[in-house]
């Protein structure tokens, strides 16, 4: 998939002088493992021999241009389908040997384009995470502990002041943060985020990223995988990255080793200059340096 030079050992610290989080030791059992997976549709390879290992406490970014295969890979990791070739193991269960619907109940999967149409308040939308139903408040009455957990997640996502606000009145950013809180209510070990900053203005994006970093601080064992094609949409707590181009991996490993000017330029087939300040990445067109 990648040459040894593009891989960094799990547990390597980012080059930033004040990393927001520390990757988990390589001795911990993986939360996710994709082994040489390929996806072929209508004779076309969407993914081609991609491998990835995610351990507890690691926060991965999947980056690439539109059509690179990011969402397809995230779908495999989220047990939404099977690879054409290769193997995917999620939370110790290999796809093809388990009920995908059951396996998905142990994952938090957030799509900001979720087709939710609901009159429920933020608090009640979060509580629907107990049953994974968005139609109405769960049939069973939530326990006091579950309500307390919902309030804690609402606070972590910066939504306390909007807890009673109806869903239709929320901004796109508030909806995204509500869906993150909802996905976390069952206390999953893995959170998958498919372009969570899509459609957000600058304040909304920054509020979302700050909330994700607060979440990672509060849940040190949680593993996350976030899909984006903008480096500016990566939280400061990102520890690892995988670059995809035309379905193939360009590089994978510690974020500081992968998110470089040379490798990001190769990934997008366009010269960009990558910088990191205050723990956050940015990229702009320019000569490779």
Contact 78, 54 (CB under 8 A): no
Phi, psi of 92 (to 5 degrees): 80, 5
* Domain of 56, in residue numbers: 4-107+188-285
Mean pLDDT of 229-252: 94
Note whether 273 and 130 are same-domain residues: no
* Backbone conformation region of residue 65, classed left if phi is above 0, alpha if psi is from -120 to 50, else beta: beta
**pLDDT band at 140, cuts 50/70/90?**
low
Number of domains in the chain: 2
Is residue 112 assigned to a domain? Answer: no
Residue 57 lies in a domain: yes
Check pLDDT > 70 for residue 107: yes
Given 172, 187, 202, the domain boundary residue is 187
pLDDT at 176 over 50: yes
Which segment of 98-107, 156-165, 220-229, 252-261 scores lowest on mean pLDDT? Answer: 98-107
> What would the mean pLDDT of 101-124 be, rounded to a whole number?
81
Q: What is the pLDDT of residue 13?
A: 35
222 and 135 both lie in a single domain: no
Q: Which of 164, 187, 210 is the last residue of a domain?
A: 187
Summarised one tens digit per residue, pLDDT across range 31-53 is 999 999 999 999 899 999 999 99
Whole-Å CA distances, 252 to 7, 91, 257: 6, 21, 9
- pLDDT for res 164: 95
Same domain, 258 and 225: yes
* pLDDT band at residue 23 using 50, 70 and 90 as cut-offs: very low
Q: What is the pLDDT of residue 28?
A: 72
Q: Global pTM? A: 0.82
Of 14, 74, 15, the closest CA to residue 196 belongs to 74
Higher pLDDT, 111 or 266: 266
The answer to the question of residue 140 being in a domain is yes
**DSSP class of 22:** -
Element (H, E) at 179: helix 172-184
């Amino acid at each position: 998939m990648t040459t040894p030079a593009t891989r960094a050992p799990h547990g390597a610290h980012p080059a930033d002088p004040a990393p927001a989080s520390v990757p988990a030791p390589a001795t911990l059992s993986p939360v996710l493992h994709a082994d040489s997976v390929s996806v072929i549709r209508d004779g076309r390879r969407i993914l081609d021999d991609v491998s990835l290992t995610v351990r507890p406490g690691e926060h991965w970014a999947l980056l690439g241009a539109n059509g690179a295969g990011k969402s397809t890979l995230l779908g495999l990791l989220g047990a939404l389908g099977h690879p054409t070739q290769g193997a995917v193991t999620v939370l110790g269960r290999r796809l093809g040997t388990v009920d995908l619907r059951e396996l998905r109940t142990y994952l938090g999967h957030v799509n900001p384009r979720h087709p939710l149409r609901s009159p429920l308040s933020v608090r009640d939308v979060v509580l629907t995470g107990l049953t994974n139903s968005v139609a109405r408040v769960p049939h069973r009455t939530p326990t006091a502990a579950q309500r307390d957990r919902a309030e804690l997640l609402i606070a972590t996502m910066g939504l306390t002041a909007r807890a009673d606000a109806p869903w239709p009145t929320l901004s796109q950013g508030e909806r995204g943060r509500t869906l993150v809180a909802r996905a976390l209510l069952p206390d999953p070990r893995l959170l998958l985020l498919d372009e969570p900053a899509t459609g957000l203005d600058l304040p909304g994006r920054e509020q979302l990223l700050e909330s994700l970093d607060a979440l990672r601080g509060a849940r040190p064992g949680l593993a996350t995988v976030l899909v984006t094609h903008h480096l500016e949409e990566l939280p400061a707590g990102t520890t690892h990255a995988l670059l995809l181009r035309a379905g193939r991996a360009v590089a994978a490993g510690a974020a500081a080793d992968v998110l470089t000017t040379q490798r990001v330029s190769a990934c997008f087939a366009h010269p960009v200059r990558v910088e990191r300040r205050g723990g956050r990445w940015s990229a702009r067109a320019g000569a490779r340096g």
